[in-house]
Structure 1
Amino acid sequence: MTTERSGPLAGLVTMRMIILFGLLRRSGVLAQRRQFDLSEIEWRIMTQVGQFAPLSLNGLAELLLQDRGQLSRAVKAMVERGLLSRERKPGGPEIEIDLTDKGRDVYARMVERVVERDRQLTDGIPESDIAVLWRVIDTMVERADEMMEAERNLG
């Protein structure tokens, strides 16, 4: 795919990042379905539960910036498939979501695949360039976080 470099947005770093993210997302969705039989939302649930379990539905919704209803349906389907467990938290109404043994196995394979995709994407790029990229991205993430906080304070 070639991308045009004209128009008022063409010179923006964020627009180039959005193009990269879009390509990675689309190819990732295809791979997720083929390799793991997971929809995009199921993939995202697995990554967050795999990293932060146990999670409540509210905690998961906050991490994914998704509607609780949509997440609840996806979690229920994943419980039925044996990937996730849902148990009531002792002493409260909250439900804790965690990976099952089958879910941990799938998650481990997902991590292997993500590491491989990262290697393919960065193969041949000098380590010094990767280090610069990390510094630039870290700075941009910090600034984006500040922008998010400023927006929250306005609303």
Structure 2
Amino acid sequence: MSAAPAFLPLLSYEVNSASDALRRSAALRFRREHDVSLMEWRTLALIEHLQPVTLRALTDYSSTDKAQISRIVSALVERAMVERRAHSTDARSAQLSLTAAGRKKARSLARTAQLRDRAFRDELSEEEAAQLVAVLRKLKAKALALIEEEEKTQP
């Protein structure tokens, strides 16, 4: 038998593995309890925060592919959680906002997310939780700096 795969001892693998597990557990719970995907919930929350918002602004803010956000928004419109209205100054775009049903769903999803967060925080002391957040922010800042360096060297 050969040695363990080279990625197993990497810090980035541990962080990604934990992130994947957290994301998957959230996706399963949101689907089971609220019949929405994780991306639908995030989109509802962003629209709630930014409304009224254009699809372009939503795409920029979420750092998600325009086609993917467009599909998600269309599904939320079809399910009567998001409303599209003509933009007041730009005939080529629409403004998005939550409907009453969308606001209710967003509040319910936020409560579920807070319960999940509490369950994770209960596994840590307050000091450990604060340290974890600080370490993750530090790693994210380094990753963003490495992205910037890589983008400068790309042809």
Alignment of 1:46-85 (within 5 A): 46-85=44-83
Q: Whole-Å Cα distance in 1 between the matches of residues 39 and 130 of structure 2?
A: 31
**Comparing 100-109 with 69-78, which one deviates more in the overlay?**
69-78
Per the TM alignment, residue 47 of structure 1 is displaced from its structure 2 partner at its CA by: 2.6
Return the letter of the residue paired with 2:8: A
Q: Whole-Å Cα distance in 2 between the matches of residues 142 and 9 of structure 1?
A: 21
Per the TM alignment, residue 142 of structure 1 is displaced from its structure 2 partner at its CA by: 2.0
Return the letter of the residue paired with 1:123: D
Q: Whole-Å Cα distance in 1 between the matches of residues 93 and 47 of structure 2?
A: 16
Closer, same or farther in 2 for the Cα pair 1:35/1:94, shift >3 Å? same
* TM-score, normalised by the number of residues in structure 1: 0.83
How many residues are aligned here? Answer: 150
Whether 1:88 aligns to 2:86 is: yes
Preserved CA contact (<8 Å) 2:81 2:101: yes
Per the TM alignment, residue 81 of structure 1 is displaced from its structure 2 partner at its CA by: 1.5
Instruction: Give the corresponding residue for 2:36.
Output: 38
Identity of aligned residues (%): 27
Q: Whole-Å Cα distance in 1 between the matches of residues 23 and 64 of structure 2?
A: 17
Larger RCO (CA under 8 A, 6+ residues apart): 2
Return the letter of the residue paired with 1:48: L
Instruction: Give the corresponding residue for 2:15.
Output: 17
**Pairwise CA RMSD:** 2.0
Q: Secondary structure at the match of 1:7?
A: coil
Unaligned runs of 5+ in 2: none
Instruction: Give the corresponding residue for 2:26.
Output: 28
Per the TM alignment, residue 34 of structure 1 is displaced from its structure 2 partner at its CA by: 1.2
Q: Secondary structure at the match of 1:121?
A: helix
Per the TM alignment, residue 131 of structure 1 is displaced from its structure 2 partner at its CA by: 1.7
Q: Whole-Å Cα distance in 2 between the matches of residues 131 and 13 of structure 1?
A: 19
Instruction: Give the corresponding residue for 1:3.
Output: none
Q: Secondary structure at the match of 1:86?
A: strand
Q: Whole-Å Cα distance in 2 between the matches of residues 104 and 136 of structure 1?
A: 34
Closer, same or farther in 2 for the Cα pair 1:63/1:40, shift >3 Å? same
